[in-house]
């Protein structure tokens, strides 16, 4: 049954490029689902508990089939993360800087970044190293999908902030966007956020690593990521937009994050991504996936 379901989901994803899987596609278009033009926030889709469960199962299966389907991973995160989002929101409220983020609702987009100014900053500053990460890994902050299925306006922003901070975490942790780097970041995020999506990614991500990378993960990067995720300050409570000129090392110390134990090289497999893009399984920002 699961095999047939996975095949159906994969065919649907390739043919139509929709954000939901076949198991919940009909549910999303039933009379019980309300797209709210004047609802909780722009783009919000109101769903019942049953529809959220179907979305979670369908998107989870699709994401397991292809962990680079960041649209499926996004739906999975939104439909399973309610309790974790409440905890993250409360941690932000109890932090002076985090509360300012919740109040002012900044967004990390190309339209809000001064890339020219970042490029002129000295090496080692957070802004310059973040821009270097974007350039070296061929990624863009604009690839993060907008939240749709979180039925609370403030929690929806917390989820959006988490997505947009993801690339900043890569910079803080010194991790590239290859599979080993993504898994290491997911281990950090699982310990830091408690989001089920991150925990699932942390558990299943290693299955896609070869023996040498598994050894590096389990003996070095993994323990480092978990330790720092548990003990560091809430990474969503930082007003990063006001920290671009700060030293990266100084910001790490403030957050209680250790420098990475090993340095991973940046290797972008462009031909593989091009094939994915041409087959319809990835969007134009194929080098910036939100992976399981």
Cα dihedral sign, 255-259-260-261: negative
- 14 inside domain: no
- Copy the structure tokens of residue 80: 């399973």
Q: Any bridge partners for residue 46, and if so which?
A: 34
Cα dihedral 168, 170, 176, 181 in deg (nearest 10)? -150
Cβ–Cβ under 8 Å, residues 172 and 185: no
- 155 inside domain: yes
Cα 209 vs. chain centroid, distance in angstroms? 19
Q: Rounded to an integer, what distance in angstroms lies between the CA atom of residue 165 and that of residue 148?
A: 18
Is 34 annotated in some ligand binding site?
A: no
Q: Rounded to an integer, what distance in angstroms lies between the CA atom of residue 282 and that of residue 156?
A: 24
175-202 residue pLDDT tens: 999 999 999 999 999 999 999 999 999 9
Q: Rounded to an integer, what distance in angstroms lies between the CA atom of residue 161 and that of residue 251?
A: 19
- Whole-model pTM: value is 0.80
85-126 residue pLDDT tens: 999 999 999 999 999 999 999 999 999 999 999 999 999 999
Q: Is 282 helix (H, G, I), strand (E, B) or coil?
A: coil
- 266 inside domain: no
Cα 8 vs. chain centroid, distance in angstroms? 26
- Which residues, given as ranges, of the chain have pLDDT below 50? 1-10, 12-35, 268-289
Backbone angles phi, psi at 68, to 5 degrees: -90, 5
Cα dihedral sign, 61-143-193-178: positive
Q: Rounded to an integer, what distance in angstroms lies between the CA atom of residue 175 and that of residue 217?
A: 12
Q: Is 63 exposed, middle or buried (0-12, 13-18, 19+ CB in 10 A)?
A: buried
SS (H, E, C) 6-17: HHHHHHHHHHHC
What is the predicted pLDDT for the residue at 65? 77
Cα 233 vs. chain centroid, distance in angstroms? 18
What is the predicted pLDDT for the residue at 8? 44
Is 166 annotated in some ligand binding site?
A: yes
Q: Rounded to an integer, what distance in angstroms lies between the CA atom of residue 74 and that of residue 56?
A: 10
- Copy the structure tokens of residue 43: 């783009």
- What range defines the domain where residue 117 resides? 49-261
**Could you tell me which of 139, 31, 97, 50 has the C-alpha nearest to residue 233?**
97
Token match 């996975």: residue?
6
- 38 inside domain: no
Structurally, the chain folds into a number of domains equal to 1
Q: Rounded to an integer, what distance in angstroms lies between the CA atom of residue 24 and that of residue 260?
A: 41
What would you measure as the largest C-alpha separation in the chain, in angstroms?
Answer: 56
- 4 inside domain: no
Cβ–Cβ under 8 Å, residues 206 and 183: yes
- 182 inside domain: yes
What is the predicted pLDDT for the residue at 266? 67
- 267 inside domain: no
- 284 inside domain: no
């Amino acid at each position: 049954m699961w095999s047939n379901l996975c095949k159906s989901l994969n065919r649907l994803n390739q043919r139509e490029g929709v954000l939901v899987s076949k198991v919940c596609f009909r549910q999303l278009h039933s009379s019980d689902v309300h797209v709210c033009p004047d609802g909780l926030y722009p783009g919000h889709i109101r769903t019942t508990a049953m529809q959220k469960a179907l979305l979670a199962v369908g998107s989870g299966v699709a994401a397991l089939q292809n962990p680079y389907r960041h649209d499926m991973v996004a739906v999975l995160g939104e439909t399973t993360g309610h309790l974790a989002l409440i905890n993250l929101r409360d941690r932000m409220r109890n932090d002076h800087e985090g509360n300012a983020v919740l109040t002012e609702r900044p967004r990390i987009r190309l339209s809000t970044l001064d890339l020219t100014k970042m490029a002129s900053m000295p090496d080692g500053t957070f802004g310059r190293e973040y821009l270097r990460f974007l350039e070296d890994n061929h990624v863009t902050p604009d690839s993060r999908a907008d939240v749709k299925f979180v039925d609370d306006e403030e929690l929806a922003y917390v989820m959006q902030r988490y997505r947009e901070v993801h690339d900043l975490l890569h910079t803080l942790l010194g991790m590239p966007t290859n599979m080993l780097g993504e898994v290491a970041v997911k281990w950090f995020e699982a310990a830091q956020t408690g989001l089920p999506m991150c925990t699932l990614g942390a558990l299943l991500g290693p299955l896609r690593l070869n023996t040498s990378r598994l050894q590096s993960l389990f003996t070095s990067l993994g323990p480092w990521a978990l330790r720092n995720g548990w003990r560091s300050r809430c990474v969503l409570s930082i007003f990063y937009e006001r920290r671009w000129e700060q030293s990266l090392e100084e910001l790490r110390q403030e957050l209680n994050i250790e420098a990475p134990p090993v340095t991973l090289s940046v290797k972008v497999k462009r031909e593989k991504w091009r094939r994915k893009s041409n087959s319809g399984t990835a969007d134009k920002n194929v080098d910036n996936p939100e992976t399981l």
